[in-house]
Structure 1
Amino acid sequence: MRKPLLFSALLFLATASITQAQTSYQPPVNYAFQTPDDYAEYEPQVIATVNWLEKTPLSQQPEVRKQADQFLFQWISGSSSVSVQLQKYVADLAGRESELLILFMGGWARYQLQHPEVKDATALNTEGVRTMLRAYQAGGFKKNKQLDELLKMDAAGSLPGWVKKQLAG
């Protein structure tokens, strides 16, 4: 008799913590980027913003997503800590889904903040693409055959090779 009750309680707690994790994110407000220290101060929020964007389905919390996108774009645009370079292949992957572009930039920026020693363009681009893929898997985006293929490549470990070819071409 106690086991079903214990299981139900554990299931409730697990579900509540997952729901809380998705809704507890709040994008920064009233930020002002004027000095390098202003940018450095927000590095943890940049990482949290990218984490939230890639895990939250596109259709959920559209106003929060808009604010998160604006914060992230403004931070990336002026930060001296990261230097995101968009290539044509990224625009081709995103197509008309502009949200995928900000996800690519965010994934690159997050990885560069977490691994400042990494300067390799293939590694940085691969992390940007992986962030796009995680968000695509979270849902809300139109079906994209190329992203579906890249998901398979990533699972097989061949995504970095594909990215390297895109950068060379």
Structure 2
Amino acid sequence: MKWGLLRSILSKLVEYSTLSNPIFQRHWNPARQTEPKPINIPKTTLTAFLLMLFFQAFAQEPVALLSKIPKTKEEFIESEKHVLATIAWMENTPINEQKDKHTEQYGILMSWLTNSPTVTIELNTLVMKYTQKNEAMLIFFLAGWTKYALENDYSKDVLHGTSAGLRCVMRIYQKGGLEKDKQIQKLISLEEKGKLKDWVAGQLAPE
């Protein structure tokens, strides 16, 4: 697929070097029956341009969703990009769309988290309070914390992890497809006011 794209790019460059191209027609008077003057493009510039397009095409290749549970620590680390792809898909796909795929991804992600040797998540009464109305919310919370941990050197910071988990719950809730939940709407209001993290810190503080 990528080599096909590269061939397409090269064909375009060849097209710009033909007599039918307007760029060359401006340099050629047919009445004189003379060959057009070539436009000299430095080889380094052309090479850099081709490499830029080629690597950009690879960078845009979507990462596959998580599809199987790794067995070794090395395999878990290698699968992290697929975990992040699954979480991104969950956050961007309303829960009332592709329901079977949602269910499949929930199960695979939960199995991955249960066996992961690198990601540690702490559940507390605060989390249960905001996820009890819909059990899928707990999975979204775990997904948000997991994303934070993977993007921050496997951080076990409870405050940041809890905040990230709740933000994931809010993002998916706002996509629609779920019943209205006053508890989550309260969290959204705190987030909009920039007070969510401080509020979470207060809730986590020992009495």
Give the alignment's TM-score, normalised by structure 2.
Answer: 0.66
Does 1:40 pair with 2:57? no
Q: Which has the larger radius of gyration?
A: 2
User: Which amino acid is 1:153 matched to?
Assistant: L
Q: 1:13-45, CA deviations, whole angstroms, 9 ceiling, x for partnerless residues? A: xxxxxxxxxxx886433x242211121121001
For residue 116 of structure 1, the aligned residue among 142, 153, 170 is 153
For the Cα contact (< 8 Å) 2:65–2:83, is it kept in 1? no
Does 1:88 pair with 2:125? yes
Shift of 1:117: 6.3
Give the alignment's TM-score, normalised by structure 1.
Answer: 0.80
Match of 2:203 in 1: 166
Match of 1:142 in 2: 179
Shift of 1:120: 2.3
Shift of 1:97: 0.6
Does 1:55 pair with 2:92? yes
Shift of 1:96: 2.8
Query: Residues 5-84 of structure 1: matches in 2 within 5 Å?
Result: 27-29=65-67, 31-84=68-121
RMSD: 1.7
Aligned residues, how many? 145
In structure 2, relative to structure 1, the CA distance for the partners of 1:68 and 1:26 (3 Å cut) is farther
Q: Distance in 1 between matches of 2:200 and 2:137?
A: 16
User: Which amino acid is 2:128 matched to?
Assistant: A
* Structure of greater relative contact order (alpha carbons < 8 Å, 6+ residues apart): 1
User: What 5-or-longer segments of structure 1 have no aligned partner?
Assistant: 1-23
For the Cα contact (< 8 Å) 1:126–1:159, is it kept in 2? yes
- Which of 80-89 and 115-124 deviates more? 115-124
Quick one: percent identity of the two aligned structures?
Answer: 30
For residue 164 of structure 2, the aligned residue among 114, 127, 135 is 127
Shift of 1:119: 3.6
Q: Which 4+ stretches in 1 moved above 2 angstroms?
A: 24-29, 117-120
In structure 2, relative to structure 1, the CA distance for the partners of 1:37 and 1:133 (3 Å cut) is same
For the Cα contact (< 8 Å) 1:27–1:67, is it kept in 2? no
User: What 5-or-longer segments of structure 2 have no aligned partner?
Assistant: 1-61
